[in-house]
């Protein structure tokens, strides 16, 4: 009986954080954790357009959370997730706004490069 309970507990473990798109790619050898080094890998970056609703925003730290519609260009289903964005892009944007936006996507992370109210 004890073994059955332990098995059930293991199966109930959370499967990890929600992330966009395909399963994580195999880890690549990286010698630097510097953000600028990551940005210097243009082969990994994809451009995408999306639409959605702002659910949280933090202009001071350059973060925005969007409940976005599906983004076929990067094979993302609709979901709510956080993006980085330059603080000046977020001026005039508020929680609840319906927006259209452009992204630079690297792996499962996206940076908003432009955003407009719809």
- Contact between 19 and Cu ion by CB under 5 A: the answer reads no
Three-state DSSP at 6 gives helix
Using CB under 5 A, count the residues that bind Cu ion: 4
Q: What are 82's two structure tokens?
A: 């956080």
Pick 17 or 40: Cβ nearer Cu ion: 17
Residues 65-94 as x/- pattern, contact with Cu ion by CB under 5 A: -----------x--x-x-------------
CB of 11 to Cu ion, least distance (A): 27
Of 76 and 101, the one with the shorter C-beta distance to Cu ion is 76
Q: Mark the segment that binds Cu ion (CB under 5 A) among 12-20, 26-34, 84-92, 95-103.
A: 12-20
How many C-beta atoms surround the C-beta of residue 50 within 10 A?
A: 24
Which residue shows structure tokens 């599906």? 70
Contact segment (CB under 5 A) with Cu ion among 2-10, 19-27, 29-37, 46-54 equals: 19-27
Which distant-in-sequence residues (6+ apart) come within 8 Å of 86 by Cβ? 62
| CA angle, residues 39, 107, 26, in degrees to nearest 5 | 110
- Collapsing DSSP states into helix, strand and coil, what is residue 5? helix
Shortest separation between residue 100's beta carbon and Cu ion, angstroms = 15
Q: What are phi and psi of 71, to 5 degrees?
A: -120, 90
Binding site for Cu ion (CB under 5 A): 20, 76, 79, 81
């Amino acid at each position: 009986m004890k073994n059955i309970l332990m098995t059930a507990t293991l199966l109930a473990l959370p499967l990890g954080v929600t992330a966009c798109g395909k399963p994580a790619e195999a880890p690549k050898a990286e010698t630097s954790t510097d953000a600028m080094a990551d940005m210097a890998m243009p082969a990994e970056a994809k451009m995408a357009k999306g639409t959605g609703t702002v659910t949280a925003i933090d202009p001071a730290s350059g973060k925005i959370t969007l409940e976005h519609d599906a983004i076929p260009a990067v094979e993302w289903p609709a979901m709510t997730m956080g993006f980085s964005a330059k603080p000046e892009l977020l001026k005039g944007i508020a929680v609840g706004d319906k927006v259209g936006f452009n992204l630079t996507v690297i792996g499962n992370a996206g940076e908003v490069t432009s955003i407009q109210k719809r």
